[in-house]
Structure 1
Amino acid sequence: MKKTLYIFIFISCITPYLTLAQEAKKEEISKVLNDYFFLERENIHAHFDKDVFLTDEKVWFKGYLYHRKTGKPFYSCINIFANLIDDSGKVLDSQLLYGNMGTFSGSFQLQPDMPTGRYYVQFYTNWMNNFSEDESFVKEIRVINKNAPSLLNAPNYSQINIALHPEGGKLIAGVANSIGINVTDCNNRPVTVLEEAYLIDSQGTVLKTVAINDKGFGKFDYVPETGKVNTLKVKVNGTEHSQPLPYPQLTGIALEVNSFAMPGKTIVKVRTAKTDKNNNSLFLVAHKDEKSVIFDVKFDSGKNEEVLVINNTDLFEGLNTIRILDGNLNELANRVFYIYPKTNSNNINLSYTKDAQGNIELSGDVYAPNMNLSISMLPSNTLTVNEESDIYNSLLLAPYLYSSQGIAARNYLSDANRRNQYELDLFLMGKSSKYKWANIKSNPPSSTYTFDIGLALKGKINQNIPGSGKYKLRVSSLSGQLDEIVEIDNNNEFYLDHLILADSTKLDFILLKGDEKKEVKLYPQIFNNKRTYNKSYKPVASLCTDTNTAVAGQFPELPDYLAPTNATMLQEVKIEADPTRLKYKTAFGNSQLRPYKITETDSRSFFYITDLIRYHGFDVTINGGSVSITGRSVRTINGQKTTPMIYIDNIIVMDYDILFMMQTSDVDEFYVNQHATVPSVDNREGIIKIYMKKNISSKAKTKSPTSFMVAEGFSIIDTFKNSQYLSTTTKGFENFGIIGWEPIIATDEKGHFKVSMPYSQQDSVKVLIEGIGPDGRIISQVKTISLN
């Protein structure tokens, strides 16, 4: 009796210390995750007009920038780099792209001598260099040279891969294991398995039949025995293939996670090997980035299974990772799974009419205001679309996985029905987290690389300046919308940053001393326009036998062109029959603004553009060369006035001082809404858009300035120009042609949009729609519309 009492007293005394130790470990785990994911992370998705191109075509794209921590567009991301890469990893072309309010757009021109094959476009930022994981976005495209086509879409059966994925990472002997299956061809593309798979023993006895879906995914439960290795057999394309199961481990943890069987709950089963005596006290960590919940896992005496039922409200919408850690915070098992949001319906209603010119006017409702969309229209039987590449995959799955290839995520994430949840989970069983626990625990990233916002200009004046400190440097560019006066330091150096300058912009420099102007000799340099990515994409060399070489009559018909494909198209050449016609009225975001065509009367009444802005309801203050513009109403709690968002030729104005002395006579069109809502990270209300005349004559100067041409600035955005097809009714056009591409579309306050596309005499068309809203809502749908 006394012995029992002593034991009871001992346990009673030690329990609080054990509890405190457990809580300290949990705090340590939470801190490790917070430290590792402390820095902001940006993700990128690019919507391409199509996925298969002919040489000499342009590759058009619209990019979306996503802020991981907020789940919303990344408005402050400005500098985005894009590389076009061939299948050997060689960079063929590079661009600096301008991020504007969470999006960017551009194009790559393909060359006629490019060989048929797979190519890749990698998008990244300099900030991404801070992380050990690859946070860039890579898009695979296929290019066809008509002189050497190849059947790039056909499955390659020269090798069939049967991947077996024990849930949790290891196959544990003597306990029930859940094992995922993934069957792919030699290029790791999904293949269809028409029959069930079979688990057989060494004598050929069928132990279990396993259902495989049309994407090659399946799963089964299995209790492996030490010393016995069974085999899984699958029949693909009439041929049987087999894969032995891995040898079971004598120690470790087997996991089974189910987030869809019980509404609102996630069931986690943790099983430890019967021979393992070291797993008496474990931690289950469920996290998404730095957000985490941590549970104790303790096995009852004589048992080797613990079941935890977790409310989904305690987890995190999107992709979660479960990790089982021991008392020393070593990882024993992990698993990724998905928690669907409560509201998940993002269906698009789409209809069409034909206008007087025969064009197709698409009318759509996405039931979400101010969404930023892009649309591609192709023949309904096109061979140019890979539906696995969508914004759901890029922003919700791929950021957390080593590879998200093999699934059209829009088909599963846009509708949270039970079947979709089950099939998505089959896919995730075969995927592992991109974030290794060893890195998280011991190697948190640091902000070594900068978050670039525009370009930087630095230079040194190579002449003696009398009366040092009295001179300043004026840097101006009419086309670059720049007019800045900068200080010159004691080393005759100057610095100017946050510049938005297009490629080949001319900068003018002149010394100022009061009203005196003086020519200057200097050596300027541009920074932030070239950034090497330390994880440049390296395609995996294919070891597959080429079974898809085209022979005469086997390759799909190609389209015929009206004009030579290497003809140079003039950019934005317009003949205006009516000089008063508003050219930019239908441009992105202008539908909610009042438009004005600047007349001679306007130029006389409002000599400077700041006068016109003041007339339209804003307070404008000019002090020296500094310009301040605010709204006339107070919209903030602390009494501060709001400031408007101002654009010049669709480039956001970072500093209002550029408007100083800008003459209204140089402006072509003016758009304004004093009370327009602005999706931004700072205090903004009101939008002003200024479009400059294209033939502004240079103002006379007392002294000629020194000029400098900006090389490799932000890429100039071309207007989409389709290929000149000989006919749009041929099989070749149906296979590889494109009808229209519109990268800049905005929904109104009711979620409605309209867009016009040319009529191509097709009976039906395929419409690809993608986009994101200011609240982070994502849209990605493929619609087929009959035009009969």
Structure 2
Amino acid sequence: MKKLASIFAVAALLFAFTVNDELADNIVSKFNKYAATYPQEKAYLHLDKPYYTAGETIWLKAYLIEAETNLLDTTSIPLNIELIDNQLGLVVGKKILKLEGGMAAGDFELPDSLHSGYYRLRAYTNWMRNFDESLMFNKEFKVYKSGEDVLPTKFNPQDIDFQFFPEGGQIVEGLDNKVAFKASDRVGNGVDVSGIILTNSGDTVIVFDSEHLGMGVFNFKAKPNETYIAKIKYRNIFEKEVQFPNIEKQGFVMGVEAVADKNLMRLYVGHNYNKPKESGNILVIGQSQGKISYVARTPISNKSMFVKISKDKFPEGITQFTVFDETGRPRCERLVYIFKEDYINLSITPDKRIYKPKEEVKLEIEAKDMDGEPVEGNFSVVVTDGKQVLLSPNEENILNYLFLSSDVKGKVEQPDYYFTQTKPEVRRHMDILLMTQGWRRFKWDDILKSDLPLPEFVAQRGIDISGEITRQNGKLFEKPINLTFMMWQEGGERSFGSGLAATDGTFSLNDLDFTGTSKILIQAVAGKLNRNTKIFINKAKPPKLERVPIPFNPITFDENDLADYLKRTRENLEIEKLIKARREQLLQEVVVKAKREQERDNRVLYSHASNTLKITPDMNVSGNVLDLLRGRIPGVQVMGNAMEPTVIIRGISSMNGSSEPTFLLDGMMMDKQAILNIPVFDVERIDVLKGADAAIYGSRGGNGVISVLTKRGDSARQPWESSGIEVTEINGYAPVKEFYSPKYDGPTMEDFQVNNKPDYRSTIFWAPIVKTDAKGKATVLFFNSNAETDINIKLEGMTLLGMPVRAKSSYSVKK
């Protein structure tokens, strides 16, 4: 036995980079290839409150994290945020936030028309669409509406969901097992149960009780050729029979003890196959955050394997152990949590413990590591009225989401419970939780495929538009298709671009960077001047939307408290409308006097040309369009022969590497060759823009502009109302709205208006960007409302070194 144990100990020391085993090398290689091809992102939203009323604004801070390093992710820039009605299963609102350094401040205005009920915000990047929808961030909350009740979820109290979870995945005859279990009601809350395991003949084998949120565990060893029955009792009210897991005649089992010792884990693998002559090894692979940190093996001829594993090999968070048989097939799996307890000590200290209504508050924030050294980070801080904003016990925050909830199946009830205490029973409860809620970030079947498919969705660096160009009959062109596009916003500048469609007619415009709604015009020209094209612009398809159950522990108000909350929220919304109306009134009082411009040709951007040549019937129209300019426009020189003329506008130096001007045809940019192919008798006029007149086209107008307008182009209609041109409206990044916080010692109009109105805001203050400096410190200033209440302060965020942080504080307001 001692010699066998030493063999196992040696096996435990073999790691991914030293294992000289073809099967192990193959699995590790495929895992690393998968991790490199499909690196994973985690999104998180910090919201100011756990519930809202229709018409209110959700204030939020978005974080995007690299799953492998836990650092802020700077690869993806657009972050999609959707407002989803859980009861209808519909997206009722959407916006795009622009991430900068992996973070973005944002807000979501809830329409007045929303009905009372349960909603959620879903956050995801385009890259995250390569994975299951459940890996996207979802935050559930309740919306109230005056005069409407949130209909309660009705269910039979005896309808309990109860499941067994054998450690490692299966129970095998004659082998020692642990079996975890979980009981929950119809809305997902754990319920305490007791139960018994009976043989088919009625003998009692095991008596068990849940020990935490409906979860528990017991030891079990199945006898050969025996069947079992399980019965549970809920609140001593009723008893029912539940299905017991199937018993396998032959197979593998595994067990992990990760709680008893702070530094070591003990892992056991056993099987009952009778294969003494078989060659090959049993493999155990341990991985965390997309990296393999541990590999061990033992010959398949050994019926059991015991190893000790140092916890130092793994980072903070969930580690997954998988057992592979000699063929490379995964047979058992187990999750454990590695606690490092190397968290950030962050303090939030008000300059007083008791304040008066409307008094200024000063918060001192300080972050230090476990060695007392200062820590720099970027955080979001919210201050709420404790009587209006009721907080759930052990609620979700950025730390427990990134380390736990984002890496397990299903919703974790009271997730912060596992991180606020270090008691042995809490660590044990975490272990039981991970036995009942399995891994969900990838499947070994996907990793071990012989051919790994390329990702369908790319990581976006900006707003993207794509489409397809065909003939009018839907068939593809055999020639290259020239594309020109123009993008603009109401009252803003216009930008231009050009390129070629792919041979299959597809095109894309990538990495656009704009805020608000814009229009984009796309013109397709096949060959020299064939505009008889058809343009299809793709509409973005949202990810699959799954209906979710009612959130855990939905907060319920006392009837009087709810009425008071709705009344105060209504008053605050009225104040916001008053301030907004007053600002609009001030803007309307600003009078701008200017001469009215002459009505201009809407085919072009400019209102005034430096020179204009009108084409009349008495002109000699032989040659090409540019020949018409010879000697007719001062400062415009046309040189060379009619087939390859060169145009120079004298007095203008080269701005873009070419001395020739930019050419336009009915307002769209064209190359010179396209202009030369236009029949002269189709031309109505030629405009020449120089200097300041050409500045509207930016750097493209640096050498001047030659604008040709045809008789075909009807100036009474929009330039895109013809074949070969398509216009669509696209949404860019959502503008960032500033949280309004009144200053009661200030003379501004808003403060005056609010001073004469009751101020009972539920969210007293919201600061999405709070940075600690090199000394680990930051200061926040704001004013209280009218309310005499207890105030809650919550902070969430990330340090520059990739550690999630959350902290709380409080103070009181009294007259």
**Residue 180 in structure 1 maps to residue 206 in structure 2:** no
CA distance in 1 between partners of 2:314 and 2:78 (Å): 34
Quote the residue 1:258 is aligned against.
257
5 Å-filtered alignment, 1:303-318, equals 304-318=303-317
Q: Give the CA deviation at 1:381.
A: 4.9
5 Å-filtered alignment, 1:184-203, equals 184-191=184-191, 193=192, 199=197
Output one character per residue of 1:92-124: Cα deviation in whole Å (capped at 9) or x when no partner.
112122111111232222233433222122111
SS for the counterpart of 1:45 is strand
Quote the residue 2:698 is aligned against.
none
Contact 2:485/2:498 (<8 A) preserved: no
SS for the counterpart of 1:341 is coil
CA distance in 2 between partners of 1:722 and 1:154 (Å): 41
The counterpart of 2:548, out of the listed 536, 539, 553, is 539
Contact 1:480/1:506 (<8 A) preserved: no
The counterpart of 2:730, out of the listed 703, 711, 714, is 711
The counterpart of 1:24, out of the listed 22, 25, 29, is 22
Quote the residue 2:96 is aligned against.
96
SS for the counterpart of 1:767 is strand
The structure-2 alpha-carbon separation of the partners of 1:457 and 1:269, relative to structure 1 and needing over 3 Å to count, comes to closer
The counterpart of 1:780, out of the listed 806, 809, 813, is 806
The counterpart of 1:502, out of the listed 496, 509, 515, is 515
Quote the residue 1:450 is aligned against.
458
Contact 2:344/2:803 (<8 A) preserved: no
Matched letter for residue 766 of structure 1: N
Q: Give the CA deviation at 1:184.
A: 1.5
Q: Which moved more, 1:706-715 or 1:476-485?
A: 476-485
5 Å-filtered alignment, 1:730-745, equals 737-745=762-770
Normalised to the residue count of structure 1, the TM-score between the two structures is 0.67
CA distance in 1 between partners of 2:402 and 2:572 (Å): 40
SS for the counterpart of 2:135 is coil
Contact 2:792/2:808 (<8 A) preserved: yes
Output one character per residue of 1:709-762: Cα deviation in whole Å (capped at 9) or x when no partner.
963111112222589998677xxx8xxx33332222111222222223432434
SS for the counterpart of 1:62 is strand
Output one character per residue of 1:411-460: Cα deviation in whole Å (capped at 9) or x when no partner.
42466564443222121111111122212211634133222111357999
5 Å-filtered alignment, 1:559-598, equals 559-560=566-567, 561-562=570-571, 568=577
**Residue 426 in structure 1 maps to residue 426 in structure 2:** no
Quote the residue 2:621 is aligned against.
none
Contact 1:457/1:526 (<8 A) preserved: no
Q: Give the CA deviation at 1:33.
A: 0.6
Contact 1:127/1:450 (<8 A) preserved: yes
Matched letter for residue 536 of structure 1: L
SS for the counterpart of 2:104 is strand
5 Å-filtered alignment, 1:203-242, equals 207-210=205-208, 212-225=210-223, 226-236=225-235
Contact 1:80/1:125 (<8 A) preserved: yes
Rg comparison, structure with higher value: 2
SS for the counterpart of 2:172 is coil
CA distance in 2 between partners of 1:785 and 1:218 (Å): 39
5 Å-filtered alignment, 1:474-485, equals none
CA distance in 2 between partners of 1:65 and 1:526 (Å): 33
The structure-2 alpha-carbon separation of the partners of 1:141 and 1:66, relative to structure 1 and needing over 3 Å to count, comes to same
Output one character per residue of 1:146-204: Cα deviation in whole Å (capped at 9) or x when no partner.
3232376999835222222111111222222111122211111233x3x8655566687
The structure-2 alpha-carbon separation of the partners of 1:342 and 1:392, relative to structure 1 and needing over 3 Å to count, comes to closer
Contact 2:133/2:543 (<8 A) preserved: no
The structure-2 alpha-carbon separation of the partners of 1:103 and 1:327, relative to structure 1 and needing over 3 Å to count, comes to same
CA distance in 2 between partners of 1:256 and 1:325 (Å): 14
Percent identity (aligned): 19
Contact 2:501/2:507 (<8 A) preserved: no
SS for the counterpart of 1:65 is strand
The counterpart of 1:747, out of the listed 754, 772, 780, is 772
CA distance in 1 between partners of 2:170 and 2:287 (Å): 21
CA distance in 2 between partners of 1:253 and 1:94 (Å): 48
Contact 1:504/1:711 (<8 A) preserved: yes
The counterpart of 2:792, out of the listed 758, 766, 769, is 766
The structure-2 alpha-carbon separation of the partners of 1:489 and 1:24, relative to structure 1 and needing over 3 Å to count, comes to closer
CA distance in 2 between partners of 1:366 and 1:58 (Å): 30
The structure-2 alpha-carbon separation of the partners of 1:570 and 1:474, relative to structure 1 and needing over 3 Å to count, comes to farther
Matched letter for residue 72 of structure 2: P
The counterpart of 1:401, out of the listed 399, 404, 408, is 408
Q: Give the CA deviation at 1:140.
A: 1.2
Q: Which moved more, 1:49-58 or 1:451-460?
A: 451-460
CA RMSD of aligned residues (A): 4.9
**Residue 374 in structure 1 maps to residue 373 in structure 2:** no
Matched letter for residue 188 of structure 1: G
Quote the residue 1:391 is aligned against.
398
The structure-2 alpha-carbon separation of the partners of 1:280 and 1:305, relative to structure 1 and needing over 3 Å to count, comes to farther
Q: Give the CA deviation at 1:38.
A: 1.4
Quote the residue 2:295 is aligned against.
294
Structure 2 stretches of 5 or more lacking a match? 1-17, 369-373, 470-481, 524-530, 587-652, 658-691, 693-704, 708-714, 721-726, 743-753
Structure 1 stretches of 5 or more lacking a match? 1-19, 462-470, 511-520, 578-621, 627-660, 662-700
Q: Which moved more, 1:71-80 or 1:385-394?
A: 385-394
**Residue 108 in structure 1 maps to residue 127 in structure 2:** no
Q: How many residues align?
A: 619
The structure-2 alpha-carbon separation of the partners of 1:472 and 1:181, relative to structure 1 and needing over 3 Å to count, comes to closer
Quote the residue 1:605 is aligned against.
none
The structure-2 alpha-carbon separation of the partners of 1:346 and 1:524, relative to structure 1 and needing over 3 Å to count, comes to farther
The structure-2 alpha-carbon separation of the partners of 1:217 and 1:99, relative to structure 1 and needing over 3 Å to count, comes to same
CA distance in 1 between partners of 2:485 and 2:422 (Å): 59
SS for the counterpart of 1:324 is strand
CA distance in 2 between partners of 1:782 and 1:199 (Å): 45
Quote the residue 2:137 is aligned against.
137
5 Å-filtered alignment, 1:150-189, equals 150=150, 157-189=157-189
Contact 2:346/2:365 (<8 A) preserved: no
SS for the counterpart of 1:157 is coil
Matched letter for residue 253 of structure 1: F
The structure-2 alpha-carbon separation of the partners of 1:244 and 1:564, relative to structure 1 and needing over 3 Å to count, comes to same
